[in-house]
Chain A
C-alpha cells in the first residue's frame, strides 16, 4: 500500500512538473468545450437562395417572398434561365435554386396541382437534408395560405382534409442543440484526455528506459499499474467537474438528474478507458505508436457514439458494433441523467455493461502486461 501511494505521489509530481503537458490536460479541453459547443450545431443558416421565375405573377412572387421572409434563406437572384442557375451552382454561388414553372398561377387555380422544381447543392449531404426540410416547410405553409385563398373564390365543394402535426420536444423543449451537444462533448473530452494520457504514460517509461529499472525491483505489477493509472482517474474526474461547471455557467445546460449518479457512472467509465490505454501501451514501444493507436480508436468511438449521427440511422452491423463502444454508453447516460433526470434503475443496464467492460479490459491489459521482455 505504501508503495502504491508513493508511486501515485511520484506520478503526480511528474505530471505537474511537465510544463508542456499541464495546459494540454487542463486548458485545451476547456477551450474545446467552449469552441465545439458553440460551433457544432445542426442548424443551417444563410442559405444562398436563387430562383427562376418563369411565371412572373403575383402568386409566384408571393412564394419567393415567403423565402425572403425566412431567417434561413438569403434570397440572392432571379436567374433568367435554368442554364445560368446551373452555372452559378457549379461555381458555388448559390445553394438552392427554386424553379417556378410557367403558368404557375393559372394551373394552380385550374388544376389545383403544380410541380415546383427544387435543386439543392448536396456536396454537404447533411446541410442539403436540412435545407430540404426548410424548403418543404415553407412551401407547405404557403400552400395552406393559398388553399384558403382559393377556397374563397371557388364554390364550397369538398372540404379538404388537413392534418397538422404539432411536435412537442420533451426534455429539450426548444430543441436547443447546446443542451444535448454540451454533455456529449464533455464525454468526448474526458475520454480523449484520459485515453491519451494513460496510453502514453507507461510507454513513456519504456521509451526513456526507466521501466527497465522498475522491472528489476520487487514492485508487483498490480501495484505499479494502479499507481500509474490512479492519477489519470483523478484527472478524468477533475475534467468532468470542470466540464460540468462550464456547462452550467456558460451554457446553462439543465441538470435535472443526480450529479452523484453521474459521478458514480463516470468513475467506472474512466476505468474502461484506462484499461484500453494500458492495453495500448502493452503493445507499443514508443509514444508515437501509442498516440496513433489511441487516435484510431478515439475516432471510431466518437463517430460511432451517437454524438454526431444517430445510432438508429446506422446500418444493422454498425449498430451491433456500437454495442462495444464505451463512449456510446457514456453519451447516453450523460444525456439521460442531465436532461431527463434518469435514476439509478434507468441507467443500471448501462452501468452493468460498463462495469463488465472495465473488468474485461483491465483484466486483459494486466494479463498482457509483463515485467520481462
Chain B
C-alpha cells in the first residue's frame, strides 16, 4: 500500500473538517478525491504531507507513519498545494534549481522525469514565475514537485482555475507519470475529471460517501436518469420539482436530470403533465449516469 489512512479525524474548534476517514491507495494508482469546496480535501492533504496533525487516527505514506517518520515522508513525496506557492520573484529555472537543492539533488539528475513537462516551459526559463500564465504556472509547480523523484505525488486541486485545454493536457501528463510508477493522489471539484482516475473517493462535509472505480460508482446508481429540456429551463425545473412522483431534479448543462420515484415510470405521462404547465418544445430521453449524478444522489 502506498497510502493508508485509517480513522483519521480532524476538527478546527467546532468545525469537523474530517470525520473518521479511512481508505487505501495502491502503489502506482491514480486516486482521486472528489468533492465540493470545503469538503475537507485540503485538510486531508495537509495531514498526509505532514503539515497538519490529525486529532485521531493514523496514516502512512510510502510505508512511513505521518507522525513518527515525517522526515522520511518529506523526502519521498511531492506536494503541489492548491494555491500557487512558488517564488513569484524568481525565474522558472531558479525556482526549479531551488527546490532541487532543498531536496539535495540537481535538475540534471532527475531530468528524465520532468523532461516532458519542462520542455514546454523551457523557452520561458528566464521569466519570473509570477509572469507566467495559469497553465504554465501549473507545469512549473508540477516540475518542482517532481524534481526529487517522489514515490507519492499529492496534487491538491491542480486544475482549478486552468483552461479546459490545459486541464486535458495536465491529466495526460498525470497518466504518463503514473506509468513511471508514481502513486498519485489528486483532488478535484470537477466531476468530469473523476472519470480519469483509477479509483475515486467521493467526499463531502468531512465524510467519505463512497470509494470505488468511476465505472463501478456509476453502475451502482439505482435509477434511470432522463434528460428533460424545454424552452424555459427555470419554469421546467420548478414544474418537475412540483411533480408528485419526482425523486430528484438537477440542472445539468442544457438539460435537467430527472429521476422518478416509481419503477414503472412512463415518460409520456410526465410529458402530459409538463404540457399542462404550459411548457413547450419538450424533450424527454434516457441518458447515461455520470459521477455527478451519483454524487448528488449520495450527498442528498
B81 in contact with A213 (CB, 8 Å): yes
Known A209-B81, A217-B74: A2·B51 in contact at CB below 8 Å: no
Place the interface of chain B in its size category: 20 to 34
- The residues of A that contact B144 with a CB separation of less than 8 Å are 213
Known: A215-B51, A216-B50, A372-B53. A209 touches B79 (CB 8 A): no
One of A3, A13, A209, A216 near B49 (C-beta < 8 A): A216
8 Å CB contacts to A: which residues of B79-105?
79, 81, 83-90, 94, 97-99, 101-104
Complex alpha-carbon distance, A119 and B204, angstroms: 79
From A3, A213, A215, A372, B86 is in contact (CB under 8 Å) with A213
Q: By the criterion CB–CB under 8 Å, are B79 and A372 in contact? A: no
A212 close to B81 (CB less than 8 A):
yes
Interchain CB contact under 8 A, A18 and B104: no
Find A373's partner among B51, B88, B90 (CB 8 Å cutoff): B51
A217, chain B: closest CB distance, angstroms: 4
Question: Which residues in chain A, 169-221, are within 8 Å of chain B measured between CB atoms?
Answer: 208-219
* CA of A365 to CA of B52, assembled, Å: 20
Interface digits, B94-119 against A, CB 8 Å rule (1 contact, 0 not)? Answer: 10011101111000000000000000
Given A10-B90, A14-B89, A372-B52, is A3 in contact with B83 using a C-beta cutoff of 8 Å?
no
A234 to chain B, nearest CB (A): 19
Give 1 or 0 for each of B18-51: 1 = CB within 8 Å of chain A CB: 0000000000000000000000000000100111
Q: What 0/1 pattern do residues 1 to 44 of A give for CB contact below 8 A with B?
A: 01100100010011001100000000000000000000000000
Q: Which residues of B contact A17 (CB under 8 A)?
A: 89, 128
Is the pair A209, B85 in contact by a Cβ cutoff of 8 Å? yes
Bound CA–CA A337/B257 (angstroms): 84
- A217 touching B102, Cβ below 8 Å: yes
In the complex, 19 of the A-B residue pairs with CB atoms within 8 angstroms, ordered by the A residue number, are: A2-B101, A2-B104, A10-B87, A10-B90, A10-B98, A13-B94, A17-B89, A18-B89, A209-B84, A210-B85, A213-B86, A216-B77, A216-B79, A217-B99, A218-B74, A218-B104, A372-B50, A372-B51, A373-B46
Excluding A212-B51, A218-B103, A219-B102, 8 further A-B contacts by CB distance (< 8 Å) are: A3-B101, A14-B87, A14-B89, A210-B87, A213-B81, A217-B99, A217-B103, A372-B52
Residues of A within 8 A of B (CB): 2-3, 6, 10, 13-14, 17-18, 208-219, 371-373
Interface residues, chain B, CB within 8 Å of chain A? 46, 49-53, 70-71, 74-75, 77, 79, 81, 83-90, 94, 97-99, 101-104, 128, 144
